[in-house]
Structure 1
């Protein structure tokens, strides 16, 4: 026993015994060993074998013995400051970011871009660089055709079929691009181009709800960056797979270009007529406008790829829903609208009295001329129409939705309001007609009259939706807007202004020659019928502009071509200061206020 106890006391402790003695897991040392009991009847007791009452006293009174070869005493780091095991930043990088709004609304990722889409995008970019730098005309329609073809290829590769509404939007957008090919005036051309972009975007996304139609009309822009990445990935994949074919195509294209340049130059030098034809067909791309051409190339490429990407993976803007407002009870909802209907009815009754014979009395009491009375009332009635549409939208949001009786109440109250507002629209158009009869037609007057007429069409569509259902209402209003812009461009507003001014002169009424000088080439056919010296005075600015701007065929509208032909057959005469006197005598500015005379277009 004594040999065993001495061996036990002299041998080194194991790590387990050390942990048991110190009560810690690291950095602790064994407690001192007590002496063996007298008589040597057993082995020595270690600290772990002390009575429970003496353990805490021994630990508190006995200082720990530092281990040999130990370093400096490093304080322990609290648990809340200890870094978790592993690379925290790596774990964060591995976690995918939450999907954005577009990612949730966009359909599945598009398939790899096809060769037809790539070549269509390249053709769009090349035509943009060659044709769009000289002005606007048929070139917009020429550039849009390969872009539409590329979108068709992309949609077909993604398994999307051609739906009726998609065809309506696509055909309408291409039809709107015919306005720049026909008209020279900048303001209807601008409206037509913007509307064509909106319809093209709707054709790619296929929206039908209110948020879908409103956001889908500008939904092409979020796809620009994704379309460029998609196209670049397709180019890299095809370049890696077909390096031999790419070199063959490059060599063949280079040889064809050399042959065309050499033999084209020979034939052009051999025949003057062929040289003129070749010069008119070849785009004029000089070195000085190279940065502008590069920008147009990039713009055409990005636009075509964005359209193709949207066709292959459209954003479902219809997924954005607007929750209806809290339904009101019948009395709370209907009372304000009924009061508004009564106000409209009272105003319309007064208008009918005026039209039936009290017009002169109203003018006598107000002290206004007929034209001033008409102008003063038109703008107020126009804003009343706009505000009525806003009221209808808010009323539908908070309308009662309890059952059939509530639906009947909503249709009745809002239907009466729409009918009364249509009478207000007719009154506003009548006032504008009186004002135009007094002072003539201008761009501002014809624009606001067209806007008021379209608001009347919107009211008719709302009435039809109340009877037939509102499922098609968003798309019907979008179609009406596009048809209005197309009709506005095709009727040639500058031509209408010039024709109305000529008719006023034939009726021995004054016309404003200074205002007519600022019209576009679309006004030349009507102004050409004026007698001299009014004709030459009205056309001198247009003749100078058309002579200086010798645009190629693809950047010239039909209105400009027709105006050049007329001025070549009947040249403008130089009347000198007589045109200035004509402007002072016949150009009374009565009725032509600053808003009418100043026009940025």
Structure 2
């Protein structure tokens, strides 16, 4: 199957591509061993250049969507540089890899969007051999062969003897300062592995850009068209069920606290917790129903197309009310119990699902050719916004505000937040402030990482702790936790 999807064999690798891949490996070896922050973006730049040079040699000019994917992927790598929390950074890195795969393949269909990352693994298997053949050709007598050998020997000598001298003399190591990575021999095998990882990754990206797998050639045909009654009756009944539920939501959920108590005999928070997960599942199932319905929709003429638009458009509109109800329920629950990582994450997912439904409605009016790329772009934009928003900082800020209003605060949960929460925690009264900041300070440790491996969130937290050191009192924190906890 892959043989049918492959492009023509790539042209011989360019010297510029080889140099960019080597630069990626060296930067990976020198920068990535101390943690992830702005160094990840620094390493990604020469890897992107290697792919650009390879695509240029293959005659692939950058298109608007290609540039959008590439710029979006690099923008996502800013998140680890800003946030100390690992979970938004992980989402950003995974999303950046996905956008990079889309930029390399130029995919525009659903199979292309979903399968593009698999093409990178194909490039890993073939990229090294492609580069080796290029090196052998250059070493066989071309003018660039001696130059490449001289550069390789120079780099090896600088790295080896620079590491030895820096490890032998503290004054020489200090001369390099914090602007240079650690040049000692500690962790040597790990740094060699990072070198290999960087070179192979850059070559995989370049090989994919030079000859991508054409996933768009995979054609998923429509299902067998059903009759109007067979297709429309279940969906119309489903629409009526959605309409009845939404009518109850408008009358009960948005009517206020007194209405909730009167209609359900539940507390405000119990009512909110009872239904959010069911509504999230209902939103996901609705998207699945829409996909299945479109596959087997009647399509004999304009009347059938109008029927499909009307029935599915109504279902989408009613589902948006369900999305709003789910978000409102979570807001009620947060008012009662505070904000957590799980709660902010599922609300973000629910809002994105609502956006996908809006995009589906727009595709029903203006055509669906652009829909796969729009959905992928909206997901990447959501992950970027999620990281820039600083979830841990938002959680700490919201819960600090709730403490001012109600006197309730989950101290144990707040102490598990990352350094991104430090600015919001700094405004809390004592001993609450010290109880939280002490745990953050313990997590940061005494020694800071190099500038290229330090996030902005960590830097701000260290500054706050240095200017106003926390005064920890274990007994006082335990007593305070019992007085303020709502558990």
Q: TM-score, normalised by structure 1?
A: 0.77
Question: Bigger CA drift: 317-326 or 215-224?
Answer: 215-224
> Mapping of 1:389-428 within 5 angstroms?
389-428=287-326
Tell me which residue corresponds to 1:149. Answer: 49
- Residue 252 of structure 1, CA deviation: 5.4
Cα pair distance change 1:222/1:253, threshold 3 Å: closer
> Mapping of 1:359-438 within 5 angstroms?
360-364=258-262, 366-438=264-336
Structure 2 unaligned blocks of 5 or more: none
- Residue 198 of structure 1, CA deviation: 0.1
- From 115, 126, 132, the equivalent of 1:226 is 126
Tell me the secondary structure at the aligned position of residue 111 of structure 1: coil
- Which of the pair has the greater relative contact order for Cα pairs under 8 Å at 6+ separation? 2
- Residue 363 of structure 1, CA deviation: 2.8
The number of aligned residues is 485
Question: Bigger CA drift: 185-194 or 352-361?
Answer: 352-361
- From 542, 555, 571, the equivalent of 2:440 is 542
Write out per-residue CA displacement over residues 304-342 of structure 1, whole angstroms, 9 at most, x where no aligned residue: 111000100011100011111000011110000000000
Tell me which residue corresponds to 1:75. Answer: none
> Mapping of 1:487-506 within 5 angstroms?
487-506=385-404
- Residue 506 of structure 1, CA deviation: 1.4
2: CA distance, partners of 1:119 / 1:259: 22
Structure 1 unaligned blocks of 5 or more: 1-100, 590-601
> Mapping of 1:480-491 within 5 angstroms?
480-491=378-389
Contact 1:268 1:278 in 2 (8 A): no
Tell me which residue corresponds to 1:552. Answer: 450
Cα pair distance change 1:534/1:209, threshold 3 Å: same
Q: TM-score, normalised by structure 2?
A: 0.95
Cα pair distance change 1:382/1:256, threshold 3 Å: closer
- Residue 218 of structure 1, CA deviation: 3.7
2: CA distance, partners of 1:107 / 1:489: 36
Contact 2:39 2:453 in 1 (8 A): yes
Contact 2:252 2:263 in 1 (8 A): no
2: CA distance, partners of 1:126 / 1:134: 14
Tell me which residue corresponds to 2:220. Answer: 322
- Residue 290 of structure 1, CA deviation: 1.8
Cα pair distance change 1:269/1:376, threshold 3 Å: same
- Residue 576 of structure 1, CA deviation: 3.2
Is 1:353 the counterpart of 2:251? The answer is yes
2: CA distance, partners of 1:373 / 1:425: 16
Could you list the runs of 4 or more consecutive aligned residues of structure 1 that deviate by over 6 angstroms after TM superposition? 254-268
Contact 2:164 2:184 in 1 (8 A): no
Tell me which residue corresponds to 1:445. Answer: 343
- From 64, 77, 102, the equivalent of 2:2 is 102
Tell me which residue corresponds to 2:240. Answer: 342
Q: CA RMSD in A?
A: 2.2
2: CA distance, partners of 1:250 / 1:197: 29
Write out per-residue CA displacement over residues 329-387 of structure 1, whole angstroms, 9 at most, x where no aligned residue: 11110000000000000001111111464863553453321101101111111100000
2: CA distance, partners of 1:418 / 1:519: 37
2: CA distance, partners of 1:257 / 1:460: 54
Cα pair distance change 1:583/1:549, threshold 3 Å: farther
Tell me which residue corresponds to 1:93. Answer: none
Larger Rg over CA atoms:
1
Question: Bigger CA drift: 252-261 or 575-584?
Answer: 252-261
Tell me which residue corresponds to 1:194. Answer: 94
Contact 1:198 1:218 in 2 (8 A): no
2: CA distance, partners of 1:356 / 1:562: 40
2: CA distance, partners of 1:416 / 1:326: 23
Tell me the secondary structure at the aligned position of residue 40 of structure 2: helix
